Chains A and B, each alone.
Chain A
Amino acid sequence: MSEWSSYRLEDFIPFTADVYYRLLERMGEDFWPLHLLTLLLGGVIIVLVLRGRARLACLLLAPAWVFVGVGYFMLRYGELNWAGQDIGWGFVLEGIMLAAVGASGLGIDHAPRFKTLPVMLGALLGVLGLFGLPVIAPLLGYGWFQAETFAIHPAPTAIMTLGVVLVALRGIGLWVAAVIPLAWIAISGMTLLVLEAPWAPLTFTVLAAGLLGLVWKTVAGLRRLRGGGAPA
């Protein structure tokens, strides 16, 4: 038996389900009622990006990533997982990149086609991250403070950001801005799978939808560049 084939997914998750849910709950308890403000901020970001104010939307997303990177990963998750500090720095980096995109305008899609699949998927993911994720825990009988909220918890932050960048960005800039959200959604999905969370499949569906949107938008962009038609 080769060494790597002996590892299972659970060997990379160094905590139990109750510890993970309690971590989500502690973030909820510690920062309440900041949630109300972050929900409002998220709503403003979605409206801005759908109205073509993509640069401002990216600028407003940036502090959410830095806050989650420090508040969630470095100060809390890092106690449980030695990779937590590095992931926290990854979130801070995403915040810096979004701020740079917002400030410079590099990679901004100035003419997003609202009736195309990637943009519709982006809008859907944005709404799901902002309003869908917070209701999952309470609907499944977990406490309200376990509700995962944009700019407080990482998963809704990553899902909403993925949606926003699908609408707001294009070309290489789109991929660069989407890599860290995609990576966290994948890690989050695997964590939930190991912890037997009932909503783990949703995370993988989001991941697949995000990747589909990214590939679709990239192919459409390349076709436009070559003078061909975009996929329907």
Chain B
Amino acid sequence: MTTNTHAKTGRRQFLKLVSTGLAAMAMSPVLRAAPDGLLRKAIPATGEQLPVIGLGTWQTFNVGSDPELLDARTEVLRAFFDHGGGLVDSSPMYGSAPDVMGYALKKLGVPESLFSAEKVWSPAGGSAREQFQQLAARWGLPEFNLLQVHNLVDWRQQLETLRELKAEGRIQYIGITTSHGRRHREFERVMASEDIDFAQLTYNITHREVEARLLPLARERGIAVIANRPYDGGRLIKGLKRSENVPAWAREECGCQTWADFLLKFIVSHPAVNCAIPATTRVEHLNENMRAGNKPLPSPDCRRKMIRHIESL
């Protein structure tokens, strides 16, 4: 009897632990390493695993109709998928970048790992639904994984349409974006009050304002976070590469062989962040970026040391 009761209690406790664990997994991005070595974190809304390094397309994929550059960007995308990359983020504001994605995907085929992230942006003209249709045609895809309201422009009406598209199964997730630390108060209000799956914001080792409120709120509300401008528009990594070597302790303690490792591992090791989206025009830089998504990630102590180091420069 006693044994039985203990057994039942044990089972209950076990089931409780499992369910709590699953819930926790769903609420915060839990790290998983895939066979290709690239770490993945769960999207809180569904538990779907997303590689921690994605690909931004601002400036870099805006090449117009130039065949030479179209092929060069296709090679960048090929390398990205070869590494197991998933999230590619674009916007109607990025000139020809969505067309370039369409060109590259037609040439490469649409890999299973692709997690397509687009945005709606009022100044581009047309309704959110029309923009979605145009963007899908430009990418050559029937649907997007994620559709975001770019820079919160007209977010109330845009989110309404995004919700309709989600209900129709045309998109899986909806989100909002900001960058450069803009409109954080409003961003926080939307995160707190609206039912969204993703929040995209600027977070890097020199711009950590979001650590105070937005990242904790994302964890609390079960919102996945995409970190844009991981290299502060390229200035940060260029400056470091020009003048500094990666400190020996960072190699030993944090597994950072390159500055790309140092900067990207710092970002994606934050528990609230799902994914960083560095942009590049070059395959060798892409390779560097993707390697940063492999184990190990810095510990909290190591992260503090990284901040102190960058602040001391």
Verify B96–A16 contact, CB threshold 8 A. no
Verify B60–A3 contact, CB threshold 8 A. no
Interface residue? A10 (CB, 8 A) = yes
Contact with B along A17-28 (1 / 0, CB 8 A): 011001100100
Verify A7–B180 contact, CB threshold 8 A. yes
Q: Interface residue count for A (Cβ, 8 Å)?
A: 21
Determine the chain B residues whose CB is within 8 A of the CB of A13 once the complex forms.
59
Contact with A along B93-114 (1 / 0, CB 8 A): 1111000000000000000000
Interface residue? A32 (CB, 8 A) = no
A158 to B63, CA, bound (A): 25
Interface residue? B8 (CB, 8 A) = no
Q: Is the interface of B mostly helix, strand, loop or mixed?
A: loop
Interface residue? B161 (CB, 8 A) = no
A16 to B59, CA, bound (A): 6
The total number of A-B Cβ pairs within 8 Å is: 56
Determine the chain B residues whose CB is within 8 A of the CB of A79 once the complex forms.
64-65, 95-96
A108 to B59, CA, bound (A): 43
Give A67 Cβ to nearest chain B Cβ, in Å.
19
- Within 58-83 of A, Cβ neighbours of B (below 8 Å) are at 76, 79-82
- Given contacts A1-B181, A6-B180, A6-B182, A14 and B64 within 8 Å (CB-CB): no
The listed residue with most A CB atoms (<10 A of its CB), out of B64, B93, B96, is B64
Which listed residue (B64, B181, B182, B183) contacts A19, Cβ 8 A? B64
Interface residue? A8 (CB, 8 A) = yes
Give B280 Cβ to nearest chain A Cβ, in Å.
10
Contact with A along B56-67 (1 / 0, CB 8 A): 001110111110
Interface residue? A15 (CB, 8 A) = yes
Interface residue? B10 (CB, 8 A) = no
- Given contacts A8-B233, A79-B95, A80-B95, A18 and B69 within 8 Å (CB-CB): yes
Which listed residue (A8, A11, A76, A80) contacts B62, Cβ 8 A? A80
Verify A3–B69 contact, CB threshold 8 A. no
A81 to B233, CA, bound (A): 18
Determine the chain A residues whose CB is within 8 A of the CB of B63 once the complex forms.
15, 19, 22, 80
Determine the chain B residues whose CB is within 8 A of the CB of A18 once the complex forms.
69, 281
Determine the chain B residues whose CB is within 8 A of the CB of A23 once the complex forms.
64, 66
A10 to B183, CA, bound (A): 20
Determine the chain A residues whose CB is within 8 A of the CB of B34 once the complex forms.
none
Task: Name the residue of chain B whose CB is nearest to the CB of A3.
Answer: B182
Determine the chain B residues whose CB is within 8 A of the CB of A19 once the complex forms.
62-64, 66, 69
Verify A22–B66 contact, CB threshold 8 A. yes
- Within 271-291 of B, Cβ neighbours of A (below 8 Å) are at 281
Verify B182–A14 contact, CB threshold 8 A. no
Give B277 Cβ to nearest chain A Cβ, in Å.
16
Interface residue? B124 (CB, 8 A) = yes
A15 to B59, CA, bound (A): 4
Give B92 Cβ to nearest chain A Cβ, in Å.
8
A226 to B94, CA, bound (A): 53
Verify A76–B64 contact, CB threshold 8 A. yes
Verify A14–B58 contact, CB threshold 8 A. yes
Binding site for B on A (CB under 8 A): 1, 3, 6-8, 10-11, 13-16, 18-19, 22-23, 26, 76, 79-82
6 pairs across A/B with beta carbons < 8 Å?
A: A6-B181, A6-B182, A14-B93, A16-B62, A18-B281, A79-B65
